[in-house]
Structure 1
Amino acid sequence: MIIIAGELHVDPADRDDYLAAVADVARLARETGGCLDFAQAADPIDPTRINVYERWESDEHLHRFRETGGDGPEPPPITAADVRKYRISGVEEP
């Protein structure tokens, strides 16, 4: 299992526009084989931050989705990012 998680930063005045521009990406990802979860959401504390969370069955599924591109509106620029890929070797109940 692959998890992509982290944060994107945009100008606070652009955050709603950014999220609107990428709103369809979550639906498209979740319709893609191998996508277990996908979300980009406004952080409740930091007005510049967008939290990113994706969960995929494999690298192959993730790469297949990334290669599809998109036709939506161009989002406002990202000013900073810290997003990482995590390889999960085991899963258990909390």
Structure 2
Amino acid sequence: METLLIIVSGKLYVNPDVRDKYLVGCLDVMERARATPGCLDFVLTADPLEPDRINVYERWESDAHLHRFRDTGPEPEQTAEIREAQVAKYRISSSEAP
């Protein structure tokens, strides 16, 4: 059976006046994710063009690794700040250098 790499990417929207505070509040989540077995990359960043947008990028070895981490869930305060989320999970069967 072929192993598929999992990529989660997209964007979150929060009020511009809370975006920086929101991202500071996510530092612990990013550190925990990157220390989690199976996490190959995890970052939430401020978008340079849209003041209310946060870019999401995660790369995982498998669905199982992703779900084990997701079971810890975000803090309720963080979830409440999100006005809109457009995030998707992709299953990648192969990759190559550009």
Alignment TM class, shorter chain as reference = over 0.9
Q: Which structure shows the bigger proportion of residues in helix conformation?
A: 2
Distance, in Å, in 2 between the alignment partners of 1:73 and 1:79 is 13
Matched, 1:83 2:90: no
Identity of aligned residues (%): 59
- Normalising to structure 2: TM-score of the pair? 0.88
Give the residue type in structure 2 aligned to 1:35.
C
Runs of 4+ in 1 over 3 A off after TM superposition: none
Deviation digits for residues 43-85 of structure 1 (CA, Å, limit 9, x no counterpart)? 0010000000000000000000111246x68335111110000
Matched, 1:11 2:12: no
The answer to whether the 8 Å contact 1:3/1:85 transfers is yes
| Aligned counterpart, 1:48 | 52
Unmatched 5+ stretches in structure 2: none
- Normalising to structure 1: TM-score of the pair? 0.92
Give the residue type in structure 2 aligned to 1:48.
D
